[in-house]
Amino acid sequence: MRARRFLVSGRVQGVGFRYFVFREAQRLGLWGFVRNLGDGRVEVVAAGCEADLNRLEALLWRGPVMANVTMVEAEESEPPPNQGFVILSSRRS
């Protein structure tokens, strides 16, 4: 089991990006969270097997139809509590 924190930049707020991540993470069996940041990025913290985290990263680059992803930064992270995958309230940066 691994965990990663992703910071996604571009046109990723107001286009259904969090709901896209929520659906895909659940489909992959990951747990963690997604939320908007005050600086316009989206933060994703996900835990699961390495292969599924790699699949999620590839999906983050694609995003939903209206998104325009310009950067996905990834770093190892502490695993979040295993309470499924959730959408959190926005966080001010």
Supply the residues annotated as catalytic. Answer: 18, 36
CA neighbor of 32 nearest in space, from 83, 90, 92: 83
Count Cβ atoms within 10 A of the Cβ of residue 60 and give its class: 0-12 exposed, 13-18 middle, 19 or more buried: buried
Say which amino acid occupies 30.
L
